[in-house]
Amino acid sequence: MPKILLNWVPTQSDFELIRNTLPDAEFEVPPWQNLEEAEILLYSPKTPDLDALIPNMKNLRFIQSLMAGVDHLPWSLIPDNVIVASGSGANSEAVADMALALALSALKFIPFYQNEMRMDLWKRRVSKDLDSLTAVILGTGSIGKAIARRLKAFGMRVVGVSRSGNQAEDFDNVASSADWSSEPYGDLIVIALPLNRDSYHMIDKDVLSRLGGTRVIVNIARAAIVEPQALKVWLQENPTSVYASDVWWNEKLSLQPVIVEQHISISYLPNVIMTPHTAGLTEYAQERMLTMACENILRFLEGLQPSGIVRKEDYSQTPWNEN
């Protein structure tokens, strides 16, 4: 009977879902008694106990994340023989919905009208026709594809950007990260990449200076993909550009509300739209994530190839954790 360790205490309904999907497994939740016996770790980054857990899990064979992002993991502590799988795909549609909401709010100036009209200011702007725009989505995975489908419904030309540049479904074209970074373009740029050693500070001073002004950048991935000081300068120098983000530097995921501390504050800038990492917080998000994670664990136990296996070499360096 496989033993699965959870790094959080699930609700009764969540535990029932887990047990129904994995009826033959034995589970251990905090406070843990027998770490060494557990072969599988099902983890949520909302409860950061992994540094203490993983070195003591001597029989660990498989780590399953509830969420798509795995940049929270202490990669240097994970043995080479342990397979790590992300929760990629579980929340793609919900996150894509938030990306669309942020993009349309910025492109149609809605937050700015809201603030101005509360001050009795009637200031109208000429917006661009959506079907005249080129949208560039950094990341062609499940989230990127879901965003592409939504933007194409508005008549936008949608270009994907990936490490390889291989063509992908739902995009009009796909460019390589190297090619796009050397000559960046797009009226709307949506960041939908995982944070890893290649994407860290991908949007830096050089990219932003080449990109120029009057752009909308939406970030529903990770803040550290954007270099904060360069972004601040770019926003100040290009007041007609907008940065709309659901993710923030030094953000600590938590079950409780937190104050986000940033190295570089951009919250006071008028061309910034902010939401508190809420893209995945929908009515059925937890159920979807748990179901997909447990089904993936079942594949592993049955000797099948789990989905979402992470390339460990992408996390051989984690500079976002070194500050």
Mean pLDDT across the stretch 105-125? 94
Instruction: In whole angstroms, give the CA distance from residue 108 to residue 70.
Output: 34
Share of the chain above pLDDT 70, in %: 93
Q: Is the dihedral of CA 158, 163, 164, 168 positive or negative?
A: negative
pLDDT band at 259 (very low <50, low <70, confident <90, very high): very low
Residue that is written with structure tokens 């938590």 in the block: 254
On whether the CB atoms of residues 307 and 88 are closer than 8 A, the answer is: yes
Q: For residue 303, is it left (φ>0), alpha (ψ between -120 and 50) or beta?
A: left
**Angle separating helix axes 12-21 and 285-301, nearest 10 degrees:** 30
pLDDT digits (tens, 9 = 90+) for 280-303: 999 999 999 999 999 999 999 999
pLDDT of residue 264: 59
pLDDT band at 34 (very low <50, low <70, confident <90, very high): confident
Residue 6 has pLDDT above 90, yes or no: yes
| Pair of tokens at residue 291 | 């179901």
pLDDT digits (tens, 9 = 90+) for 61-112: 999 999 999 998 999 999 999 999 999 999 999 999 999 999 999 999 999 9
pLDDT of residue 138: 98
Residue 1 has pLDDT above 90, yes or no: no
pLDDT digits (tens, 9 = 90+) for 138-189: 999 999 999 999 999 999 999 999 999 999 999 999 999 999 999 999 999 9
- Per-position b or e across 56-89, b if 16+ CB within 10 A of its CB: ebeebbbbbbbbbbbbbbbbeebeeebbbbbbbb
Superfamily of domain 92-274: NAD(P)-binding Rossmann-like Domain (3.40.50.720)
pLDDT of residue 317: 80
pLDDT of residue 48: 59
Instruction: In whole angstroms, give the CA distance from residue 277 to residue 280.
Output: 8
Residue 200 has pLDDT above 90, yes or no: yes
Residue ranges covered by each domain of the chain: 3-89+284-321, 92-274
Residue 253 has pLDDT above 60, yes or no: no
pLDDT of residue 261: 44
pLDDT of residue 252: 56
Alpha helices in the chain (DSSP H): 12-21, 50-53, 92-107, 110-118, 142-152, 177-182, 205-211, 228-237, 285-301
Return the CATH number of the domain spanning residue range 3-89+284-321: 3.40.50.720
Query: 3-89+284-321 and 92-274 share one CATH topology?
Result: yes
Residue 258 has pLDDT above 60, yes or no: no
Mean pLDDT across the stretch 111-131? 94
| Of 255 and 167, the one with more pLDDT | 167
Mean pLDDT across the stretch 220-240? 95
Residue 46 has pLDDT above 70, yes or no: no
**Pairing mode, if any, of strands 272-274 and 3-6?**
unpaired
pLDDT band at 118 (very low <50, low <70, confident <90, very high): very high
